[in-house]
Amino acid sequence: MKNMLITGGCGFIGSNFIRYLLKESDYTGRIINLDKLTYAGNPENLADVQKEYPKRYIFIQADICDEPRVGEIFDSYRIDGICHFAAESHVDRSIVKPDAFIQTNIVGTFNLLEAARSRLGQTIRFHHISTDEVYGSLGKDGYFTETTSYQPNSPYSASKASSDHLVRAYHKTYGLPVTISNCSNNYGPYQFPEKLIPLIVLNGMEGKSLPVYGDGQNVRDWLYVKDHCVAVWMIMKHGKNGETYNIGGDGEMANLKLVEMICDILDETNPLSDRRSRRDLIEFVKDRPGHDLRYAIDYSKLKQDLKWHPEVTLETGIRETVNWYLQNRSWIDRVKSGEYQTWIKTHYC
Ligand code: NAD
Ligand code: DAU
């Protein structure tokens, strides 16, 4: 691959992936980052990269649903590989207003597949980023494998499931070279503070209440974002054409326990002025409708075939993440105040 199209590269995982590819991996080609800059996209996440790699990093503000524009980008930049992150990604938002999830996650993925299919002679390798949520919910035991049947329970996961099926179908029907990865909950630097971990860290830093849905016993498997990036790049390089790989973090934990862990780390590193324990800030709030009870990933295929395993334990990763948010208050302030949108307007228009 010489000209890799990365969609959604200004979001949380996409920006971590671009930084990893340019600064730490053995990828030597160009990156074309196509991002619509929705509320979740923030070019400031890659401001350092833009400065350091002016020849190898190109940013284009565009919508993956805009078919002619996508085609133009494929041709102008001679795209020969795609890593497709762009999506509406927040489950709660999909429950309130699913429309954009259907457009971006399904129609947008379809557009990219069509763009690749109509240039089949050029061999465009397509990697699709998906989620463990497509498999539905586990009970107390068991793990999702690559052959677990799909049972999505939210508009978000249903839209991601649809896009996975389209990617698979384009491989089976048209011979498009594809790989798919389904990973668990990511956490780490640059995550938009609508998701559980950054929300709790930020509210905790400010001594605000810490909302926990239901009884807090829902379990997620937490994957440090850098470990995810390493896995994706390995799959793009060495994964078998047409295959799906699960990526897990060995980090299963109930939400309440995780929130308590963050409270304790914050109390230790950044105590409240009145020395109150942050655990007192925990507030049990109305549950999410259709809230999946438990996700857990069996990633043995990736371990056996590509020798990947997660390096960062949950305790270490959470400490590093809390530390990152503590040290990046101006990023937080701009994201929260909406000032980053002003930055976009002044910089790109
Ligand atoms: P995010 O919400 O932080 O970022 C999404 C990015 O996509 C943003 O930069 C946004 O501007 C861009 N985007 C949205 N609609 C677009 C459109 N129509 N055209 C172009 N760009 C558009 O998401 P994330 O957490 O970084 O997730 C990235 C991918 O990983 C998604 O496909 C998501 O489903 C998947 N995933 C995420 C997690 C997680 O824990 N965050 C876990 C499993 C899978
Ligand atoms: O499993 C992978 C998925 O992880 C990705 O596909 C999604 O894009 C990503 O957003 C994430 O989905 P979740 O719904 O699991 O993540 P979220 O951070 O929204 O919630 C994590 C858990 O915490 C979930 O059980 C709901 C709960 N929660 C969440 C919020 C925002 C709370 O208890 N309180 C909250 O305020």
Would you list the DSSP string of 299-316? -HHHHHHH-----S-HHH
Q: Which ligand is nearest to the CA of 297?
A: 2
156 catalytic residue (yes or no) = yes
Determine the atom of ligand 1 nearest the C-alpha atom of 37.
11
132 catalytic residue (yes or no) = yes
Q: Which residues of 161-182 are buried (b: 16+ CB within 10 A; e: fewer)?
A: bbbbebbbebbeeeebbbbbbb
CB 314 within 8 A of CB 175: no
What is the length of the chain? Answer: 349
Q: What is the pLDDT of residue 343?
A: 41
Look at ligand 2, atom 7, and give the residue with the nearest C-alpha.
89
Distance 235 CA to ligand 2 centre (A): 25
Distance 132 CA to ligand 1 centre (A): 14
Burial class of 84 by CB neighbour count within 10 A (0 to 12, 13 to 18, 19+): buried
Determine the atom of ligand 1 nearest the C-alpha atom of 86.
7
Q: What is the pLDDT of residue 338?
A: 72
Look at ligand 2, atom 14, and give the residue with the nearest C-alpha.
91
Give pLDDT tens digits for 287-326.
999 999 999 999 999 999 999 999 999 999 999 999 999 9
CB 133 within 8 A of CB 157: yes
Q: What is the pLDDT of residue 340?
A: 40
Token readout for 132 is: 């463990």
DSSP-H helix ranges across the chain: 12-23, 47-52, 67-76, 91-96, 99-101, 109-117, 155-174, 196-205, 225-238, 255-269, 300-306, 314-327, 329-337, 339-348
Q: Which ligand is nearest to the CA of 220?
A: 2
36 lines ligand 1 (CB under 6 A): yes
Q: What is the pLDDT of residue 344?
A: 42
Look at ligand 2, atom 15, and give the residue with the nearest C-alpha.
185
Token readout for 36 is: 């619509």
CA 130 and chain centroid, separation = 9
- Using alpha carbons, list the distances in angstroms from residue 124 to 113, 175, 177, 178: 10, 11, 7, 9
Q: What is the pLDDT of residue 121?
A: 84
Q: What is the pLDDT of residue 258?
A: 98
Determine the atom of ligand 2 nearest the C-alpha atom of 90.
10
pLDDT < 50: residue spans in the chain: 340-341, 343-344, 348
Radius of gyration over every alpha carbon of the chain, rounded to an integer in angstroms: 20
Q: Exactly one of 35, 63, 132, 227 is catalytic; which is it?
A: 132
CB 221 within 8 A of CB 248: yes
Look at ligand 1, atom 15, and give the residue with the nearest C-alpha.
87
Domains along the chain with CATH numbers: 3-190+223-252+294-313 (3.40.50.720)
CB 20 within 8 A of CB 31: no
63 lines ligand 1 (CB under 6 A): yes
135 catalytic residue (yes or no) = no
Distance 7 CA to ligand 2 centre (A): 22
For ligand 2, which residues put their CB under 6 angstroms from it?
A: 89-91, 131-133, 184-185, 195-196, 199, 211-213, 218, 220, 255, 288, 295
Determine the atom of ligand 2 nearest the C-alpha atom of 157.
6
3-class SS of residue 253 = strand
37 lines ligand 1 (CB under 6 A): yes
